[in-house]
Structure 1
């Protein structure tokens, strides 16, 4: 365990400074989910991978079956998700569904909290999550996993002892000379689950998710390399529920077919005097067809086509007087077209926008003890004109003796978010429920000032602790305007508006202690106050207290035991702060047994105490799924090249 922690502290991170730096040396606080954590918790999707990060809040996407993220009280619309530095398309043109990315091929995940718009532009005002994929090892390797799971009495077929979920993945990779490549296939299937399987509704959807990836690279020298990556994700999701249409409940079904295709490529060239030129780009399409029936009759047929294009270039100058200057240019374009029963839901039909961004950054060692990062970005937006963002972060190592050192980090960043196409042009027509939400093309960008102050203590490979104070001041917050709603023909018409100012503030603390080389414990606690400065009331879906506790125990060279506990306090469900969701606590466990150098078996149970929401309560946001048991096999074989 001590060895694993040492490797983690020395992980090379790139998100905070856009250049390679050891985690312990980064002037900007960065949190890591490494590959070992993904294995110990049997993470299948990005949502699974992130749920034990300190202070992270995961919640269901409204009207869908997926999950979105909240950092330091800021919403998922304000958090940018990247894959190797390139943006991942939002599933609804507004927020990324964390369940729609299977984690095969991930080396580690980097999380930076607080405004990062100076580094990454719009949507990074709340933070950045960067998925770093694995580098291909020398020789040839093959790995894979097969596992099955059950919800017990809540299995959709009503049988407690039966297989409800299936998951299989395989990965092949090879590296020989200047060439390297990788193939990945990953599939997850679920029959869904229900509190009462004899009834029609399902609380957990029937799902089939498939993800395929092909990667290749050519590196003839240390000075030049090019690469390309193709990723195809497909999902079929089937929901079953009851809807009241006077005078009785009717059976409603919704089937959603989703396909995301992502092609990215890039290259790097270093000159003889160590000037590095990096370029990379991504083309991503996200298409959905949603079919909704009521008592077997078609009630809605919705088609959505989304396209995102992003180009990024960066020039990194050679180190000069302990300074590392970077200059860059980004171009981003997005398009969205959506219809319901053949009628366009986007005002004006197909809508699009693009933006051009220029940035400048300097990562400097001011003294032997002080490092600093200065960043500035200029954005020229097709619809919103010019925008600037600035960031300054510094790290001061004020104590170092033998194997103990202490760092103080201070960061100030300006954030901004340009309204997405959905907020500006989309019409949410829910007339059958008595309301419509209409996009507002006159929205202004959101902006924020973010302050972070942290203290980090590291005692060699034995223990480390982190304390962080944060304050995010948000202006022109975009939300649904309830005060100026209009009623027409009995239908309430809402719109989006820049109607609020908000602030989120609090503190986070986390620690890990390697008690022995075989046993370690880790924990974290986050306190958050998130309020609407206009009304003085708490923002909805922001619990004040979030805690994590975990332990890793290697019984011997073959058997590992993992425990992960999570606590979340109550949270308000309405803007008037009249209704709240109860607090909750869950405990997960997993046992891994190495059968041979190539094969290991595992068995686990999530939500051991069966903490689950009351589905008849409107404002109950406790976990959707109850106790879940699983078991499986992993294999890993590698042949080094001679």
Structure 2
């Protein structure tokens, strides 16, 4: 056991004392830490209940900036960068240099990432039924469970508070896209329910005027860029009294999309000579879940989550841009039929004065089933168990210490190989269980009500995914079932404060050191690579967020992010997809009460699209929105994104949307 782990174990010992809660001035109990929003959907480390600037994107912010996809909503935050997988037309984010494999995505605390590769396409997750999105960086609650190497993202659904609540919208996106959503809720005291439906469709998106015709793309409307996403959600809650709450929920997402063809200039990119003609007619996800909260006494509680999640995915590779025939050697139909089930239980107690202890246990079983048409199904199964303990110790009215420790074990119970020559399925070589320790410690100090500082250190891990261990990567790689977990130690120093009652600011500096990073090693055998634990790296950077209210009618704000990433193992192999600098600024003006004018701009520095240095150029975007309250329960808004029609890219060879407009009519009662 390392010295760091031993130190964290010692810090887990409850500390006796008589200090009071620094915020509420009341003794800490299980009942005094109730968070806002949908309580059972939150997973958080309890510190000061009031925060100057939270790592949270609220429903108001999503609507104000017209962010209808989760990835683009998250991009509003400092330290979060919108990224993309161009060849798969997937939207993702990176948090302080860590991608979604290291920053898992949850819905009300339930994992929703894809079992096979640990990713999830955030463009398929719309914001229409969300009350907030919480982001943890580095020092994330161990109660999330395993794999939070760089943090966690939690999508929090709505919960009604009135007898009848509703919200909805109808809108037009350019001339060939539409959106619609309706959410209805009712809280009758002992019972409540929330239901929602949403629809988002685009025939295509328009290229910027600066893009000129290329092979496989004639400019104008981007070929094969269609999408349709529908979502149905429902949950019903029962609160027989103040000490009990039970929720049954259901969520169904149905999606389909095209993948635009590569139109770049990289001579080393195989897609330049051999373009892919891909479409995804099925991207469906279905989740059933049960949540509960039982307060055993004034100091003790038990919370639980039980879930069953399915993921169905179909990829069609066609002969050419007609997307009609599949006769050539590279044409195929690939089908995934995955499911996940599991749950977790958390016990919390404040029986020891000034300490809030939390113990949790997680179990998760991931089943991945894949095959190409006319081939047998291959089965993969991982079982993961995780234990965690956190303690919130109120040292004084100003100081809180939060240590935590966790242990996870993952065992592979099925992994099948397929030989296309013999057309036989066989088992991969068996491997032993993989284990990982996690530990962290945070110190949070409040100088005064609106001046706070914190220092955190977190040792986190990530298990290798099924794809990391078993994928042949279309015949170019050798599987490695024995991959060990990646490790990272994340340090963070932050300060936040309010000055002159109008200026809010938050400053963070951070450093992460990675070891056993899973990297592709070339020519393990002639012409073939293998994923191996050969990587060591360091990420470091800073973030500044600010907001200034000049007066009731005018406010400005924004954030600045800077990051450096160093590949210590092989400096010639570059990290990709993230700019070292991102700046976001906005101005909001309300000339009269019903009218709001909003202008925002963002700058992204250039970023590497390949490990050998192909770049996507820097860009600056300007967006504008005007909204008006028509009457008590209705408003209308319209806006223009990419006002100056910038021809920009997140990935070289995959241009983003040019100038586009939207008009949205909203109704609401809450």
Q: Shorter-chain TM-score: what band?
A: 0.7 to 0.9
Q: Which residue of 1 aligns with 2:118?
A: 94
Partner Cα distance (1:426, 1:535) in 2? 23
SS in 2 for 1:129: strand
Q: Which residue of 2 aligns with 1:546?
A: 582
Q: Which residue of 2 aligns with 1:387?
A: 436
Q: Does structure 1 retain, via aligned residues, the 8 Å contact 2:639–2:662? A: yes
SS in 2 for 1:139: coil
State the Cα distance separating 1:558 from its structure 2 match: 0.5
Partner Cα distance (2:360, 2:445) in 1? 27
Matched ranges for 1:63-462 at <5 A: 63-90=87-114, 93-116=117-140, 118-150=142-174, 163-193=175-205, 195=207, 202=222, 205-239=225-259, 241=261, 252-295=277-320, 296-298=324-326, 299-343=331-375, 349-383=378-412, 384-398=433-447, 400=448, 405-429=450-474, 436-459=476-499, 461-462=501-502
Q: Which residue of 1 aligns with 2:547?
A: 512
CA gap of 1:88–1:24, structure 2 versus 1, over 3 A, is same
Root-mean-square deviation (CA), in Å?
2.8
State the Cα distance separating 1:238 from its structure 2 match: 2.7
Partner Cα distance (2:434, 2:36) in 1? 39
CA gap of 1:278–1:436, structure 2 versus 1, over 3 A, is same
Matched ranges for 1:511-530 at <5 A: 511-530=546-565
Q: Does structure 2 retain, via aligned residues, the 8 Å contact 1:116–1:391? A: no
1:585 aligns with 2:620: yes
Matched ranges for 1:457-606 at <5 A: 457-459=497-499, 461-484=501-524, 486-487=526-527, 493-537=528-572, 538-577=574-613, 579-606=614-641
Q: Deviations over 1:572-608 (max 9, x none)?
A: 233344x322111111111110010011110011111
How many residue pairs get aligned? The number is 593
CA gap of 1:15–1:453, structure 2 versus 1, over 3 A, is farther
The unaligned stretches of length 5 or more in structure 1 are: 1-9, 151-162, 430-434, 488-492
Q: Does structure 1 retain, via aligned residues, the 8 Å contact 2:454–2:493? A: yes
State the Cα distance separating 1:497 from its structure 2 match: 1.6
CA gap of 1:367–1:104, structure 2 versus 1, over 3 A, is same
Between 463-472 and 128-137, the greater mean CA deviation after superposition:
128-137
Q: Does structure 1 retain, via aligned residues, the 8 Å contact 2:45–2:141? A: no
Q: Which residue of 1 aligns with 2:51?
A: 24
Q: Does structure 1 retain, via aligned residues, the 8 Å contact 2:247–2:291? A: yes
SS in 1 for 2:104: strand
Q: Does structure 2 retain, via aligned residues, the 8 Å contact 1:427–1:439? A: yes
Larger fraction in strand? 1
SS in 2 for 1:37: helix
Q: Which residue of 1 aligns with 2:427?
A: none
Q: Does structure 1 retain, via aligned residues, the 8 Å contact 2:83–2:578? A: no
Q: Which residue of 2 aligns with 1:4?
A: none
State the Cα distance separating 1:129 from its structure 2 match: 1.2
- Normalised by the length of structure 1, the TM-score is 0.86
SS in 2 for 1:38: helix
CA gap of 1:252–1:388, structure 2 versus 1, over 3 A, is closer
Partner Cα distance (1:588, 1:453) in 2? 32
Higher-RCO chain (CA-CA 8 Å, sequence separation at least 6)? 2
State the Cα distance separating 1:58 from its structure 2 match: 1.2
SS in 2 for 1:63: helix
SS in 2 for 1:77: coil
Q: Deviations over 1:599-635 (max 9, x none)?
A: 11100111112122379xx8367x6111110112001
SS in 1 for 2:473: strand
CA gap of 1:226–1:569, structure 2 versus 1, over 3 A, is same
Q: Does structure 1 retain, via aligned residues, the 8 Å contact 2:139–2:456? A: no
SS in 2 for 1:48: helix
- Normalised by the length of structure 2, the TM-score is 0.83
Partner Cα distance (1:251, 1:352) in 2? 30
State the Cα distance separating 1:240 from its structure 2 match: 5.3
CA gap of 1:246–1:260, structure 2 versus 1, over 3 A, is closer
Q: Does structure 1 retain, via aligned residues, the 8 Å contact 2:563–2:581? A: yes
Partner Cα distance (2:480, 2:276) in 1? 34
CA gap of 1:250–1:360, structure 2 versus 1, over 3 A, is closer
State the Cα distance separating 1:297 from its structure 2 match: 2.0
State the Cα distance separating 1:194 from its structure 2 match: 5.0
State the Cα distance separating 1:133 from its structure 2 match: 1.7
State the Cα distance separating 1:409 from its structure 2 match: 0.5
